[in-house]
């Protein structure tokens, strides 16, 4: 073989080996690229997975925060409602405790025949004591701090109510309350202390739960005042319990047996001249407030004695503020007759006109 052919064979073999090497390198590069791609895909998948997990965690946290906030708001709302309801009940309770306080002072006044030295002041102090007791209980049982100050007890335009102003300051957690509460306390159903206080020098009058029987106490009072026909009020009677007369306007008392029904039911009437309830507690039979009046009724008289002249036709007018204060006279007015007896009262012209009795006659 020629040397040139040998060289050519060597070159071809060398080129063939080089080609094989290039193919192998190319395959290795492709494999390397595929591995890189696979690794990158793995990284991408891992990254996406991580992002999704983080996203889910963020969403879960957000949702948890929302739930917590909703629960907190719901809890705050419940706590707020509970606080408001408690304050509302507390404020209503002021009038209830106020009535209990007034009733207690009234009964003490009647039983001792001793006027209240200052009815408004006494009610303020005793009511505040009762409220402080309630405040201590609420602090112990409800963890709510309440402070109260009874500012005033006074008469308003309605003589059947007593008005109370109370400063209420309350705090529980984040909730607070600060307000002046105005309460109206009804006196319907309370006893009238005035007759007991006015007749305290001869305290022989008694009561049966609805009416006062004066015995000789009112006669004795009128005798001490030097008034005529004090005997006309021997064994007289009057209402014990404050009850508002339903016959309005008052002129209707002149119709049928309305006056009889009014007296039998022991009603009270509004009067610019009569005492308010606070002044009645102080033993004042006249005051500058808009007040009440009722009738003091003499004992019934036999028709025969009435017709035979065994009866004085004039006496102190029957309105309680007249008997215990102004003491001007009135003429007898028969408002009912039954079984040989007249039921009557002494009444002046102005009160006859007020109650529509000017033309009343059952004789």
Answer for the pair 154, 60: CB distance below 8 angstroms, yes or no. Answer: no
Calpha distance 39→37 (Å, rounded) = 5
Q: How far is CA 117 from the centre of its chain?
A: 27
Cis-peptide, bond into residue 249, ω within 30° of zero: yes
Entry pTM = 0.78
- Largest distance between two CA atoms of the chain: 191
Q: Which residues contact 98 (CB under 8 A, 6 or more apart)?
A: 123, 127, 153, 162, 164, 183, 185
* 231-274 confidence digits (pLDDT tens): 999 999 999 999 999 999 999 999 999 999 999 999 999 999 99
pLDDT at 76: 47
E-strand ranges in 201-258 read 206-207, 211-213, 237-239
Residue ranges, the chain, pLDDT below 70:
1-48, 50, 54, 60, 62-80, 362-363
Calpha distance 204→214 (Å, rounded) = 7
Q: Is the dihedral of CA 296, 311, 231, 213 positive or negative?
A: negative
pLDDT at 148: 97
pLDDT at 38: 57
Calpha distance 214→280 (Å, rounded) = 17
Q: How far is CA 77 from the centre of its chain?
A: 24
Q: Are strands 206-207 and 211-213 parallel, antiparallel or unpaired?
A: antiparallel
Answer for the pair 330, 304: CB distance below 8 angstroms, yes or no. Answer: no
**Mean of the per-residue pLDDT values of the chain:** 87
pLDDT at 74: 45
pLDDT at 16: 55
pLDDT at 58: 76
């Amino acid at each position: 073989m020629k040397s040139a052919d040998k060289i050519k064979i060597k070159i071809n073999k060398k080129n063939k080996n080089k080609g094989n090497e290039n193919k192998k390198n190319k395959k290795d590069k492709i494999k390397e690229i595929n591995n890189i791609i696979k690794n990158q895909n793995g990284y991408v998948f891992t990254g996406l997975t991580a992002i999704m997990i983080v996203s889910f965690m963020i969403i879960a946290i957000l949702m948890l925060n929302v739930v917590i906030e909703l629960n907190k708001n719901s809890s705050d709302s419940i706590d707020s409602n509970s606080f408001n309801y408690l304050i509302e009940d507390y404020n209503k309770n002021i009038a209830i405790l106020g009535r209990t306080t007034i009733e207690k002072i009234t009964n003490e006044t009647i039983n001792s025949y001793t006027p209240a030295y200052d009815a408004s002041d006494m009610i303020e102090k005793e009511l505040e004591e009762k409220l402080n007791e309630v405040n201590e209980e609420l602090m112990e049982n409800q963890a709510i701090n309440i402070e109260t100050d009874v500012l005033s007890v006074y008469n308003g335009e309605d003589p059947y109510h007593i008005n109370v102003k109370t400063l209420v300051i309350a705090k529980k957690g984040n909730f607070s309350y600060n307000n002046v509460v105005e309460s109206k306390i009804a006196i319907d159903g309370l006893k009238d202390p005035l007759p007991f206080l006015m007749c305290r020098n001869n305290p022989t009058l008694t009561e049966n739960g609805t009416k006062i029987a004066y015995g000789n106490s009112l006669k004795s009072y009128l005798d001490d005042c030097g008034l005529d026909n004090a005997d006309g009020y021997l064994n007289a009677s009057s209402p014990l319990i404050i009850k508002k007369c339903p016959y309005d306007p008052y002129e209707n008392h002149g119709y049928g047996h309305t006056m009889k029904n009014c007296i039998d039911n022991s009603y009270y009437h509004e009067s610019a001249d009569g005492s308010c309830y606070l002044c009645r507690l102080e033993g004042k039979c006249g005051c500058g407030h808009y007040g009440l009046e009722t009738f003091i009724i003499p004992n019934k008289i036999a028709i025969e004695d009435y017709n035979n002249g065994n009866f004085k036709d004039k006496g102190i007018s029957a309105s309680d503020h007249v008997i215990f204060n102004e003491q001007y006279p009135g003429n007898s007015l028969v408002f009912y007759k039954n079984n040989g007896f007249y039921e009557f009262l002494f009444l002046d012209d102005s009160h006859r006109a007020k109650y529509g009795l000017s033309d009343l006659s059952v004789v």
